[in-house]
């Protein structure tokens, strides 16, 4: 009798599986493959929001999340859950990337300094051409070279924060995030500077990062022209990338500590001026400009695929 019962049970399971398979084939039950799990970069901050990889840094590692439950309203409207989730963040996270209303003005920006030799060399070129720039400095380097921080300010250039250690801020919890801002502010105060501009390392940010920056009185700054000077030693290539992509009100991303960037700088400045552009600081450029929201499905896909660095 035990054997007979076992065979009966197996037969029952086989019949049920066959019915379900038939219903799937007829479309009455959705196949598992119709629900695609969302894939976002890993988040160690304990928050549920997706992290965005950077346009100038190595994307964080990815992990697969379980498929979300779609509401009836979402499924009836055919709405993509991942787009809804990004739209929710889009309402909160804002950053300045450009100001088209500024007309024929652009801002040169330099990340990752100060450097013992190169910062002074960059300043010499700017002084020779009588143009300002905005330097986004790393807190630990500002502590190491406070005299260079003061020199940048003395040359009528602008200073902003690029975090304390150039860490991936989107991976920090709120307490660690606030500590990073506090240490950076303290580093600049030792050099006699207050900072009101903030550029997140790797260009990576989320709502928590920008909200924290605002709490500390800092405005988030991105860019819309990236010649990827970190990825080439060809000065002329850096120049051509900028001059071919520049638009009115652009914020141009460059980096300190690179000979090729320093060699390109005179041609960048003269080329922009020949096109009729006036070089100004970021603060001058964005004065009165609306913040630009950066969360779009296209950009997320591009950030996921782009391998970048300093």
To the query of whether residue 111 is one of the catalytic residues in this protein, the response is yes
In the set 180, 226, 229, 255, the catalytic residue is: 255
A 10 A CB-CB count for 297 gives 12
Give, in order, the Cα–Cα distances in Å from 54 to each of 27, 50, 115, 128, 196.
Answer: 41, 13, 23, 34, 22
Q: Which two tokens stand for residue 249?
A: 């009100």
Question: Of residues 56, 111, 180, 229, which has the active-site annotation?
Answer: 111
Alpha helices for 220-258 (secondary structure H): 235-245
Are 248 and 103 contacting, i.e. CB atoms less than 8 angstroms apart? yes
**Closest by Cα among 131, 144, 138, 155 to 256:** 138
d(CA 23, CA 29): 6
Count Cβ neighbours within 10 Å for each residue of 168-180 and write b for 16 or more, e otherwise.
Answer: bbbbbeeeebeeb
Report d(CA 235, CA 279) in Å as an integer: 20
Catalytic center residues: 111, 255
């Amino acid at each position: 009798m035990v054997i007979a019962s076992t065979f009966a049970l197996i037969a029952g399971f086989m019949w049920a599986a066959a019915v379900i398979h038939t219903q799937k084939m007829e479309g009455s039950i959705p196949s598992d493959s119709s629900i695609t799990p969302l894939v976002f970069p890993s988040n160690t901050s304990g928050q549920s929001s997706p992290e965005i990889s950077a346009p100038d840094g190595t994307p964080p590692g990815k992990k697969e999340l379980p498929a979300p439950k779609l509401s009836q309203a979402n499924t009836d409207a055919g709405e993509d859950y991942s787009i809804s989730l990004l739209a929710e963040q889009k309402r909160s996270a804002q950053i300045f990337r450009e100001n088209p209303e500024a007309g024929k003005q652009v801002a040169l920006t330099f990340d990752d300094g100060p450097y013992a030799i190169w910062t002074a060399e960059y300043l010499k070129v700017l002084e020779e051409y009588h143009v300002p720039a905005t330097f986004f400095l790393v807190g630990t380097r500002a502590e190491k070279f406070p005299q260079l921080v003061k020199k940048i300010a003395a040359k009528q250039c602008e200073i902003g924060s690029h975090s304390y250690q150039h860490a991936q801020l989107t991976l920090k919890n709120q307490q660690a995030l606030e500590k990073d801002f506090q240490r950076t502010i303290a580093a600049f105060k030792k050099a006699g500077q207050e900072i009101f501009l903030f550029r997140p390392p790797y260009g990576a940010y989320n709502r928590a990062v920008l909200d924290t920056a605002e709490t500390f009185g800092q405005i988030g700054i991105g860019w819309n022209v990236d010649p990827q000077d970190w990825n080439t030693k060809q000065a002329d290539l850096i120049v051509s990338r900028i001059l071919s992509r520049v638009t009115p009100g652009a914020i141009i991303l460059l980096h300190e500590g690179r000979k090729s960037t320093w060699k390109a700088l005179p041609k960048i400045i003269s080329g922009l001026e020949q096109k009729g552009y006036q070089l100004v600081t970021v603060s001058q450029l964005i004065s009165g400009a609306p913040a630009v929201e950066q969360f779009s499905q296209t950009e997320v896909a591009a950030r996921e695929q782009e391998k970048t660095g300093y």
